[in-house]
Amino acid sequence: MKKILELFIQFLKFTIWIYVTIFKACIRLFDELRKLIIKKLRFSITFKITATYASIFALMLLLLSTSLLIAFTIYMGKNSEDIIYRNFKIISSDIMNSKGISKTSIDQLSNLDNVYITIFNADYKIIYTTEKDTNSITFYKKDNISGVYNLNENYLLSLPSNINNTTNLKSSYIYLISNNKVILNSEDIYIQIRYNLYKEILSLLILFFILLFINSVFIVIISAIGAKTSKRLLKPVDTMTKTVKNITVNALNTRLDVSGSQDELKDLAKTFNRMLDRIEASYEAQNQFVSDASHELRTPISVIQGYSNLLSRWGKGDKAVLEESIESIKTEAENMKVLIEKLLFLSRSDKNTQKIEIETFYINELIDEVIKETKLIDNDHEIKNTINDRLLVNADPKLIKEALRIFIDNSIKYTPENGIISIDSYQLKSELIITIKDTGIGISKEDLPNIFNRFYRADKSRTKKTGGTGLGLSIAKWIILAHKGSIDVRSELSAGTKIALHLPIIKL
């Protein structure tokens, strides 16, 4: 029994698993179907513009047609009331003047204006009528018959369903009815006039279908013209789309055509071209960066590989060769470490992941420390400090010190022996100004705009010992900009270089 129960539970679990799997599959199927339908029903901008303006035009035509139909209905109704009123006036005047009922005159009026005239006495008995079927005659009074509606004080409207004799052809007509009292020989009589609205309703139907036909034709014409015009106006978008599709890594210099009329699409094309300019520049800079980094790493790797081969062949037994090889390998490994650290620093800065540990400190103490260290390691130049104001700043002292060391190291490299390097700091308005000035070889006007580019060296003939990796100034610039500062560089060949760092200070 226990085994049977276990088998039943397993079967139940298996059944539930099947149902759940089928349910999930159905959900995925419906989702894919929904996406497919949405994709198939994707409407173009041309269609949307055409549909929008066609709808607006159709609405305007509808309002205009409705207004025409209402105006024509009011006009036809007023004309029908005038016909009834005119007949009543003629009949009542004739009765009052002749002191009797002129059947001949009434028949003539009935035939002339296509109205039915019935005269009732005070007891609502028929005195005379122009209708042939007297059984269908009803005396219409306000609110006395269901389905007879009051239009105003003088007129009633009788609909087909209100005619009792449904076998009569006239029962399918709509009538405008008036029922007015006159006095004949001191007795009240009622003149009831029924006017058949068949012609008026037929005219309204004809006008309705004419307007419907005209509106339909105009909407089709407007839609066709609108679609053609919209397609022509949006043709630049199609051209832009085709051009963008053809842009690849190998064709980044492709640009959109901005000739033609001055409109939003031209502004969009210009904006897109500027974006492509930035992308192309970034791509070229990236390629150059990779190329330069590969070149910088190739030299130490080649040196290390060369000395390793030398050692493996015959350098193990030669102490001089062994020491030279080990020293060179250590030097090149250190150079590679420095280069990789700089590359990692720039990579983190590009990704905004480089940490900046902000502290509040006096900048003069940091500058004193840098000047002291510089004097210890450099005995070939005169290190001067004239101004070093006591100013409080919010910054990362390690990064600021690294930036200062980069600028000072450059001055040391490119300043002849016994040259002067001045390091000063002072306040100018709300900024801290740190200047590093040297009497070195200077920088040409052509090279000056590019000195902060990665791997750039003004003098391509310089060795790595004097030229470095070409990354230091890029790192220094990033550090200063990350502290919301700026850099001003002025230099002349054979006259020296002056670098001014602008940083915000804390107002005491």
Q: What mean pLDDT do residues 266-280 have?
A: 80
pLDDT at 94: 82
Mean pLDDT of 67-83: 90
In a domain, 333, yes or no: yes
Mean pLDDT in the chain? 81
CA pair distance 2, 98, nearest whole angstrom = 118
* Domain containing residue 190: 68-204
The confidence band for 5, taking pLDDT boundaries of 50, 70 and 90, is low
Q: Read off the pLDDT band of 123 (50, 70, 90).
A: confident
Q: Are strands 155-158 and 148-150 parallel, antiparallel or unpaired?
A: antiparallel
Q: Name the domain boundary from 350, 367, 387.
A: 350
How far is the C-alpha of 156 from the C-alpha of 282, rounded, in Å? 85
CATH of the domain at 273: 1.10.287.130
pLDDT average, residue stretch 9-36: 75
CB 273 within 8 A of CB 257: no
Q: In this structure, what token pair is assigned to residue 136?
A: 């269908």
| Number of domains observed in the structure of the chain | 3
Distance CA 425, CA 332 (A): 36
CA angle 178, 134, 165 (to 5 degrees): 85
Tens of pLDDT, residue by residue over 425-445, are: 999 988 999 999 999 999 988
pLDDT at 508 over 70: no
Q: Are residues 77 and 155 in the same domain?
A: yes
Which pLDDT belongs to residue 504? Answer: 92
The pLDDT-based confidence of 269 (bands split at 50, 70, 90) is confident
Q: Which pLDDT score, from 0 to 100, does residue 163 have? A: 44
pLDDT of 141: 73
C-alpha distances (whole Å) from 458 to each of 291, 293, 475, 480, 483 are: 18, 17, 17, 22, 27
Q: Is 470 part of a structural domain of the chain? A: yes
Rounded to an integer, the average pLDDT of 288-297 is: 70
Among 408, 418, 409, which Cα is nearest to 380's?
A: 418
Which strand (E) or helix (H) includes residue 192? strand 187-196
What is the model's pLDDT at position 436?
95
- Model confidence pLDDT, tens digit, residues 305-325: 887 877 777 656 667 777 777
The CATH number of the domain where 475 resides is what? Answer: 3.30.565.10
Amino acid (one-letter) located at 166: T
Q: What is the pLDDT of residue 9?
A: 67
pLDDT band at 463 (very low <50, low <70, confident <90, very high): very low
Instruction: Kindly state the helix (H) or strand (E) to which residue 46 belongs, with its residue range.
Output: helix 45-98
Reported as a single tens digit per residue, the pLDDT across 186-217 is: 788 889 998 888 888 889 899 999 999 998 89
Q: pLDDT band at residue 162, thresholds of 50, 70 and 90?
A: very low
| Residue-level pLDDT at 187 | 81
**Range picked from 89-98, 190-199, 240-249 for highest mean pLDDT:** 190-199
Same domain? 193 vs 272: no
> What pLDDT shows up at residue 294?
73
pLDDT over 70 for what percent of the chain?
Answer: 84
- pLDDT over 90, % of the chain: 23
Query: Do 340 and 366 sit in the same domain of this protein?
Result: no
Q: What pLDDT does residue 143 have? A: 61
Of the candidate ranges 30-39, 47-56, 406-415, the one whose mean pLDDT is the lowest: 30-39
Higher-pLDDT residue of 231 and 164 is: 231
Of 304, 300, 369, 287, the residue nearest 338 (C-alpha): 300
Measured CA to CA, the distance from residue 158 to residue 174 in angstroms comes to: 6
Q: Are residues 459 and 396 in the same domain?
A: yes
**Among candidate residues 167, 187, 204, the one where a domain is terminated:** 204
Q: What is the pLDDT of residue 272?
A: 79
Contacts for 348 with CB less than 8 Å, ≥ 6 apart: 354
Would you state the pLDDT for residue 249? Answer: 65
- Residues with Cβ within 8 Å of residue 154, at least 6 apart in sequence: 81, 85, 178, 180
Please state the separation of Cα 370 from the chain's center in Å.
Answer: 53
Model pTM score: 0.50
Which is more confident, 155 or 349?
Answer: 155
- Could you tell me if 92 and 194 lie in one domain? yes
Residue 291 domain flag? yes
Say which amino acid occupies 94. Answer: D
Tell me whether residue 330 is in a domain.
yes
